[in-house]
Chains A and B, each alone.
Chain A
């Protein structure tokens, strides 16, 4: 039950190349235990690609803290088939697995990348895929290869090809951005001179709900990520409209409205129709979050005198209080497997990320920041992205859900906040 402190920071610091000031840079702090040693050899002919694809794969794997990259220098010629691999050499370099591959330009101008993941001890192929791609898809292909390797070696789905959303404040300018999970390839989907808040991905990853202050008060919008048409407000009632949360089937949106008085939770269709009220208290009820099975909604309420986390049926009904330690527990998020409740707790004036095992009710302190907030689980549940600050500047940070390792993602001279990790997309 006692908060655990972090092990001394052992890890290497890895700065991803980010020439544009708008890029997020990633810094890894701490390291996971039992990292899988893996050698990602340069792919033969990969110079036909605009970027080194194997460098991206290796960075993805290292950043997950589940892998340790083995030195791959001095190999000539680069093997492309299993028969060309000197397994004794890789065994002596202590690699459990190696990745080999090749890239080439096809006659029709497209590119092809094929790779094999090999088991060093068994001297056999674990798997392999060939991709046909355009030059612009190099990074995505690298993430997909890293996802494949991650899944084969850990038994869990990788999140390298998923996307994240976050808010950037730079001077008077607010942006809602969507980027690759490694912070690269960022695109602004909304720019405003008024605050933007609470981005929430639809479960199919095609739409984003958010709160905009462009009309001098919080109004709820849902924006399609593909269509460029102007988004229409889905909740613009008297008072404030905020805290959107999608049901897992994407058919309903929970949100907080104040049209009937204090902040209460309502359900609506994603276009704003079929509005109905879910909570009926005289207190603050906010920050709804659906459980992955869609059966329950966690939320924050001060009905007991201080903000605490409650759970109620998704159709409304009697809430059950979930948090009892401390007088400020907010921002509930449930892990994709439904087993962990992540939330923010005020402990001695500091706001820290906590994880509650929902079965045993054991609580673990995951972070030691001053103002940590807005947690968001990766779709595989292994990592929690959250907002933190360094030198009074907002940064994104990530912690493994077991608390073993952390990362920081920041942009020079800008405040980055309110991360939301998008869903798995297709295959």
Chain B
């Protein structure tokens, strides 16, 4: 129940912080199409969705609970899309930056951020990327996206970002 409240709070705060860009821009990757916006019309007749349309690379971040590095199920489709893209584009490289909120030891947070980035890497490899394509690194608590000393910022800072070559 505490966790549910926490998640609700996180979501509320995420949506509440309008000035902070939550998603970095998508890469100018050739051959990748951004899918149109989610269908709004009533889905009366089901239509087969083309596989390519499922590759949405615009989402680049995975968010975590405090002190945790496990990847929540909601991020699987995102990682699946990136893993597939990397599998189909062997020349592409990715840097995964793990981040932490400011609480606790700076060096321990480097290790925790690394764990987060490493988890994303493992998932991408499972989805088809190769070890050589993805380098997980940690920024610890050193590069906070949001700098208030409260959960509204902390939840945004507990994050892994996926950056393609040329974006970092």
Which A residues, 180 to 221, have Cβ-Cβ distances below 8 Å to chain B? 195, 197-198, 211, 213, 216-218
Complex CA–CA separation, A6 to B136 (angstroms):
44
Complex CA–CA separation, A261 to B102 (angstroms):
24
Given contacts A213-B142, A240-B138, A392-B149, contact A307 B106 (CB under 8 A): no
Which one of A195, A213, A258 lies within 8 Å of B114 (CB-CB)? A258
* Nearest neighbor of A306 in chain B, beta-carbon distance: B67
Which B residues, 125 to 168, have Cβ-Cβ distances below 8 Å to chain A? 135-140, 142-143, 149, 168
Bits for A395-427, please: 1 = Cβ < 8 Å to B, else 0: 000000000000000000000011000000000
Bits for A334-365, please: 1 = Cβ < 8 Å to B, else 0: 00000000001010000100000000000000
Complex CA–CA separation, A330 to B110 (angstroms):
13
When the two chains form their complex, are residues A239 and B136 in contact, meaning their CB atoms are under 8 A apart? yes
Say how far A107's CB is from chain B's closest CB, in angstroms.
54
Is B56's CB within 8 Å of the partner chain A?
A: no
When the two chains form their complex, are residues A351 and B104 in contact, meaning their CB atoms are under 8 A apart? yes
When the two chains form their complex, are residues A195 and B142 in contact, meaning their CB atoms are under 8 A apart? yes
**Which of chain A's residues have a CB closer than 8 A to the CB of B105?**
287, 300, 307, 330-331, 344, 373-374
Say how far A276's CB is from chain B's closest CB, in angstroms.
20
Given contacts A195-B143, A213-B142, A262-B118, contact A331 B135 (CB under 8 A): no
When the two chains form their complex, are residues A262 and B137 in contact, meaning their CB atoms are under 8 A apart? no
Which A residues, 363 to 396, have Cβ-Cβ distances below 8 Å to chain B? 371, 373-374, 392
When the two chains form their complex, are residues A197 and B107 in contact, meaning their CB atoms are under 8 A apart? yes
When the two chains form their complex, are residues B106 and A284 in contact, meaning their CB atoms are under 8 A apart? no
Complex CA–CA separation, A122 to B138 (angstroms):
63
* Nearest neighbor of A349 in chain B, beta-carbon distance: B103
**Which of chain A's residues have a CB closer than 8 A to the CB of B138?**
217-218, 239-240, 242, 258
**Which of chain B's residues have a CB closer than 8 A to the CB of A323?**
none
Indicate the size class of the contact surface on chain B.
Answer: 20 to 34
When the two chains form their complex, are residues A418 and B110 in contact, meaning their CB atoms are under 8 A apart? no
When the two chains form their complex, are residues A239 and B104 in contact, meaning their CB atoms are under 8 A apart? no
Say how far B122's CB is from chain A's closest CB, in angstroms.
10
* Nearest neighbor of A216 in chain B, beta-carbon distance: B168
When the two chains form their complex, are residues A346 and B112 in contact, meaning their CB atoms are under 8 A apart? no
Identify whether the interface residues of B are mostly helix, strand, loop, or mixed.
Answer: mixed
When the two chains form their complex, are residues B114 and A240 in contact, meaning their CB atoms are under 8 A apart? yes
Is B14's CB within 8 Å of the partner chain A?
A: no
Bits for A232-272, please: 1 = Cβ < 8 Å to B, else 0: 00000011101100000000000010100111000000000
When the two chains form their complex, are residues B108 and A300 in contact, meaning their CB atoms are under 8 A apart? yes
Complex CA–CA separation, A217 to B98 (angstroms):
10
**Which of chain B's residues have a CB closer than 8 A to the CB of A261?**
118
Identify whether the interface residues of A are mostly helix, strand, loop, or mixed.
Answer: strand
When the two chains form their complex, are residues A238 and B118 in contact, meaning their CB atoms are under 8 A apart? no
Is B82's CB within 8 Å of the partner chain A?
A: no
* Nearest neighbor of A387 in chain B, beta-carbon distance: B106
When the two chains form their complex, are residues B106 and A263 in contact, meaning their CB atoms are under 8 A apart? no
Is B60's CB within 8 Å of the partner chain A?
A: no
Say how far B89's CB is from chain A's closest CB, in angstroms.
21
Complex CA–CA separation, A374 to B118 (angstroms):
25
Is A328's CB within 8 Å of the partner chain B?
A: yes
Say how far B112's CB is from chain A's closest CB, in angstroms.
7
Which B residues, 83 to 125, have Cβ-Cβ distances below 8 Å to chain A? 95, 97, 102-108, 110-115, 118
Complex CA–CA separation, A239 to B137 (angstroms):
5
Complex CA–CA separation, A346 to B103 (angstroms):
10
When the two chains form their complex, are residues A243 and B110 in contact, meaning their CB atoms are under 8 A apart? yes
Is A162's CB within 8 Å of the partner chain B?
A: no
Complex CA–CA separation, A50 to B168 (angstroms):
50
When the two chains form their complex, are residues B103 and A240 in contact, meaning their CB atoms are under 8 A apart? no
Which one of B104, B107, B136 lies within 8 Å of A258 (CB-CB)? B136
* Nearest neighbor of B108 in chain A, beta-carbon distance: A330
When the two chains form their complex, are residues B110 and A286 in contact, meaning their CB atoms are under 8 A apart? yes
Which one of A213, A216, A258, A351 lies within 8 Å of B118 (CB-CB)? A258
Say how far A402's CB is from chain B's closest CB, in angstroms.
24
**Which of chain A's residues have a CB closer than 8 A to the CB of B168?**
216
Complex CA–CA separation, A256 to B111 (angstroms):
9
When the two chains form their complex, are residues A284 and B142 in contact, meaning their CB atoms are under 8 A apart? no
Say how far A319's CB is from chain B's closest CB, in angstroms.
16
Which B residues, 67 to 81, have Cβ-Cβ distances below 8 Å to chain A? 67
Complex CA–CA separation, A375 to B118 (angstroms):
29
Given contacts A195-B142, A213-B142, contact A262 B103 (CB under 8 A): no
When the two chains form their complex, are residues A243 and B114 in contact, meaning their CB atoms are under 8 A apart? no
Which A residues form the contact surface with B (CB < 8 A)? 195, 197-198, 211, 213, 216-218, 238-240, 242-243, 256, 258, 261-263, 284-287, 300, 307, 328, 330-331, 344, 346, 351, 371, 373-374, 392, 417-418
List 14 other contacts, CB 8 Å, given A262-B118, A284-B112.
A211-B110, A213-B143, A218-B110, A240-B113, A258-B136, A262-B114, A263-B110, A284-B111, A286-B107, A287-B105, A351-B104, A371-B103, A374-B106, A418-B106
Which B residues form the contact surface with A (CB < 8 A)? 67, 95, 97, 102-108, 110-115, 118, 135-140, 142-143, 149, 168
A and B contact pairs by CB, cutoff 8 A, 8 listed: A216-B95, A216-B168, A238-B135, A239-B137, A243-B110, A344-B104, A346-B104, A417-B106
